[in-house]
Amino acid sequence: MKIQSFKFKGLVCAVIAAFVSVLLTVNFSWAATAAKHYTELEFAPLPEIKLPKYERYKLDNGMVVYLMENHELPLVNGAALIGTGDRFEPSDKVGLAQMVGTVMRTGGTRSHTPDELNQMLEQRAASVETDINETSGNASFEALSEDVETVLGLFAEILREPVFAEDKLALAKTQERGKISRRNDDPNEIVRREFKKLVYGKDSPYARTTEYETLAKISRPDLVKFYQQYFYPNNMILGIVGDFDPKKMKSLIQDKFGDWKPNPNFTKPELPQVTAQGGGVFFVNRPQLTQSSILIGHLGGQFNSPDYPALDVLNGVLNGFGGRLFNEVRSRQGLAYSVYGYWSPRYDYPGMFIAGGQTRSDATVQFVKSLQTEIRRLQTQPITPKELAFAKESTLNSFVFNFEDPAQTLSRLMRYEYYGYPSDFLFRYQKAVAATTAADVQRVAQKYLKPDSLVTLVVGNQTAINPPLTQLAKQVTPIDVTIPGSPQTQS
């Protein structure tokens, strides 16, 4: 009995061993024929991207509304764009718009105190947020589908009936003073902030910073006045996406916003003028640093430029793994772990061309010269077919991430209307990128890049930078980043 059992077990083992042998042979044979170098891999072309179905309409009071259904999850998200921005605040009260955006949410409404608002939202795992940035006012909400009526009502309250409570304004100012006191802690923050001042001018609305003095001049009546200048339904775009019934949602929107009185005399304020500043080499001395943070560049352009698609392909030539800056400055010369350069446009005012990174102190001058060399090389040497293909493919392949979810798509549609762009702008851009040639890239590099009038800003340790920055220019202008005033003496 035992012998028969062992024989049976032996037979089973032999069969298993033979099966494993065949399996391994097949697998190794398949792997040997299937393995390819990454350059040999072939991928199917990207599918055509289509916008989700949406509806746009306008209330009688002028408010523009976008609705986009998405029933994957029982959630509803909403957002509003209000035609304002901190670029319109008085120059002696920089920080005012930010205070309006903050205290509008934290200060409560005529119907609910701040604590009541917070409690009602927390009980429903919902949120309502507001802020004002450089070019727009923004408000948003998130809610479960079953709570959307209540949350949309609170959202409307905050937009229509903020009280700007004095104690919440005081708290917001205290928090902002804390940010001012810490703003020189990070060299990267210093270089970004001061670079904008050099490109736009220190008094430009696109570069000025909140100071203790400007914050001290801001009072509750200032917040109310700023709010009353811009917050009207005929100066607002509302978008809602998620799990809702369109008919019911329209009724809710009409109920919450329909009786909001428009301002028939409202006119959009004139945008601040932007004037190009001169170039030069500038320096912020931070003796404690062991490396330099560097930005070079100049004034740029807008998204609606017909040359923007070619300039974006140019970005692909410069950046990323396989880009010129990575290959030359980082890999071959070993000057920096992080290096970048890109044309960075804006919707309705000129952006910037920026190149930069961080490098060790004794490599600062070499790093800047290497960036300058690569900028000039774009103008003098046509890019190769391989570089063109790489830049276009990376740009077009990343295009799909503009449509990751319906909320993202709706947000883009709202921004296009807000800034006066056609709704199919992104698809026009996509086609233009696909049609871009190597000659186009060289042409826009020659037209828009200005290597002889670059602003160069270095934040680093002056004694450790060797060779000195005077090898870049005879005159190196120091920048004092001392924070003016004192938080203790400013209320």
- On the question of a cis peptide bond just before residue 467, with omega within 30 degrees of 0, the verdict is yes
Does pLDDT of 11 surpass 50? Answer: no
- Distance from C-alpha of 295 to C-alpha of 315, rounded to nearest angstrom: 16
Does pLDDT of 30 surpass 80? Answer: no
Strand partners, 459: 284, 293
Q: What percent of the chain has pLDDT over 90?
A: 83
| Banded model confidence at residue 57, pLDDT cuts 50, 70, 90 | very high
Give the pLDDT confidence score for residue 488 in this predicted structure. 63
pLDDT tens digits along 414-453: 999 999 999 999 999 999 999 999 999 999 999 999 999 9
Give the pLDDT confidence score for residue 405 in this predicted structure. 87
Reference 139, options 157, 124, 121; nearest CA is 157
Give the pLDDT confidence score for residue 38 in this predicted structure. 52
| Banded model confidence at residue 47, pLDDT cuts 50, 70, 90 | low
Who has greater pLDDT, 197 or 276? 197
Buried b (16+ CB within 10 A) or exposed e, 86-118: bbbbeeebbbbbbbbbbbbbbbbbeebebeebb
Please give the mean pLDDT across all residues of the chain: 91
Reference 384, options 445, 442, 331, 326; nearest CA is 442
Alpha helix positions (H), 55-165:
96-106, 114-123, 148-160
Q: What is the pLDDT averaged over residues 268-279? A: 93
pLDDT tens digits along 186-226: 999 999 999 999 999 999 999 999 999 999 999 999 999 99
> For 192, left (φ over 0), alpha (ψ -120 to 50), or beta?
alpha
CA dihedral of 196, 200, 206, 211, whole degrees rounded to 10: 70
Does pLDDT of 22 surpass 90? Answer: no
Q: What is the pLDDT averaged over residues 173-198? A: 97
Strand partners, 69: 242
- Distance from C-alpha of 173 to C-alpha of 349, rounded to nearest angstrom: 29
Q: What structural domains does the chain harbor?
A: 55-186+193-257 (3.30.830.10), 280-478 (3.30.830.10)
Q: What is the pLDDT averaged over residues 395-413? A: 88
| Banded model confidence at residue 321, pLDDT cuts 50, 70, 90 | confident
Judging by beta carbons within 10 Å of its beta carbon (0-12, 13-18, 19+), is residue 28 exposed, middle or buried?
exposed
| Banded model confidence at residue 391, pLDDT cuts 50, 70, 90 | very high
Q: What is the pLDDT averaged over residues 159-167? A: 98
Query: Of 284-288, 354-358, 402-406, where does mean pLDDT reach its minimum?
Result: 402-406
pLDDT tens digits along 133-149: 999 999 999 999 999 99
Does pLDDT of 260 surpass 60? Answer: yes
Q: What percent of the chain has pLDDT over 70?
A: 90
Give the pLDDT confidence score for residue 226 in this predicted structure. 98
**Angle at alpha carbon of residue 93, lines to 88 and 97, rounded to 5°:** 50
Q: Which DSSP symbol is given to 51?
A: P
Q: Which pair of tokens denotes residue 467?
A: 């060779």
Who has greater pLDDT, 132 or 397? 132
